[in-house]
Structure 1
Amino acid sequence: MGSTEGDVLAGVGPRLRALRRARGTTLAELAAETGLTASTLSRLETGKLRPTLEQLLPLARAHRVPLDDLVAAPPTGDPRIHMKPVRRSGFTVVPLTRRAGGVQAYKVVYPPADRAPAADLQTHEGYEWFYVLNGNVRLVLGEREFRLGPGEAAEFDTRIPHRIGSVDNRPAELLTLFGPQGERAHLSPTRH
Structure 2
Amino acid sequence: MSTTTRRPPPMIGQVLRERRGHHGWTLADVAEKTGISKSTLSKIENDLISPSYQTIIQLCAGLDIEIGDLLSPNPVGDEAKQLMGRRSVSRQHEGLVMEDDNYRYVYLCTDIAHKRIVPMVIDVTADSLNRVEGLWTHVGEEYLYVLKGSITLYTSLYEDTVLETGDSVYFDSTMGHAYIAAGDAPAQLLVMCSSATPNLAQTLREMLKQRLTAKID
Give the TM-score range, shorter chain: 0.5 to 0.7
Cα separation, partners in 2 of 1:80 and 1:123, compared to 1, 3 Å: closer
Q: Which residue of 2 aligns with 1:119?
A: 133
SS at match of 1:94: strand
Distance 1:174 1:64, change over 3 A: farther
Please report the TM-score for the alignment, with normalisation by the length of structure 1.
0.55
1:162 aligned residue (160, 177, 180): 177
CA 1:138 to 1:63, structure 2 compared with 1: closer, same or farther past 3 Å? farther
Distance in 1 separating the partners of 2:123 and 2:83? 27
- The answer to whether the Cα contact below 8 Å between 2:102 and 2:126 also exists between their aligned partners in 1 is no
- 1:59 is matched with which residue? 75
Aligned residues, how many?
128
Matches within 5 A, 1:50-129: 50-53=7-10, 57-59=73-75, 62=80, 82-88=94-100, 90-98=102-110, 99-101=112-114, 102-111=116-125, 113=127, 117-129=131-143
CA distance 1:64–1:142, shift in 2 (3 Å):
farther
Q: Distance in 2 between matches of 1:127 and 1:64?
A: 27
State the shift of 1:167 in Å.
Answer: 0.9
Bigger-Rg structure (1/2): 1
Task: Give a deviation string over 1:48-95, Cα, whole Å, max 9, x none.
Answer: 2432428962228946969xx7xxxxxxxxx95842421046200111
CA distance 1:85–1:115, change in 2 (3 Å): farther
Alignment match of 1:136 (pick from 135, 150, 153): 150
Which secondary structure state, in structure 1, belongs to the residue aligned with residue 120 of structure 2? Answer: strand
SS of residue paired to 1:117: helix
Which stretches of structure 1, 4 residues or more, deviate above 2 A after TM superposition?
A: 46-52, 54-66, 79-82, 114-119
Per the alignment, residue 48 of structure 2 pairs with: none
Q: Which amino acid aligns with 1:132?
A: V
Instruction: Give the aligned CA root-mean-square deviation in angstroms.
Output: 3.6
1:126 to 1:49, Cα distance in 2 relative to 1, 3 A: closer
Instruction: Indicate how the Cα distance of structure 1 residues 63 and 49 shifts in structure 2: closer, same or farther if over 3 A, else same.
Output: closer
* Structure 1 unaligned spans of 5+: 1-42, 70-78, 183-192
Aligned counterparts of 2:146 and 2:128: Cα–Cα separation in 1:
19
Question: 1:143-183 deviations in whole A, cap 9, x for unaligned?
Answer: 4211000000001001111111111221000011111338x
Q: 1:48 maps to which residue?
A: 5
- Whether the 8 Å CA contact 2:95–2:108 is kept in 1: the answer is yes
Partner amino acid, structure 1, of 2:174 = R
| C-alpha deviation, 1:134, in angstroms | 0.5
- The answer as to 2:150 corresponding to 1:150 is no
| 8 A contact 2:101–2:125 mirrored in 1 | no
Cα displacement (A) at 1:121: 0.8
Matched letter for residue 141 of structure 2: Y
Instruction: Report the residue type matching 1:97 in the other structure.
Output: C
Q: Is the 8 A contact 1:112 1:170 kept in 2?
A: no
Pair 148,57 (structure 1): closer, same or farther in 2 beyond 3 Å: same
1:90 touches 1:116 (CA, 8 Å); kept in 2? no
Question: Percent identity among equivalent residues?
Answer: 21
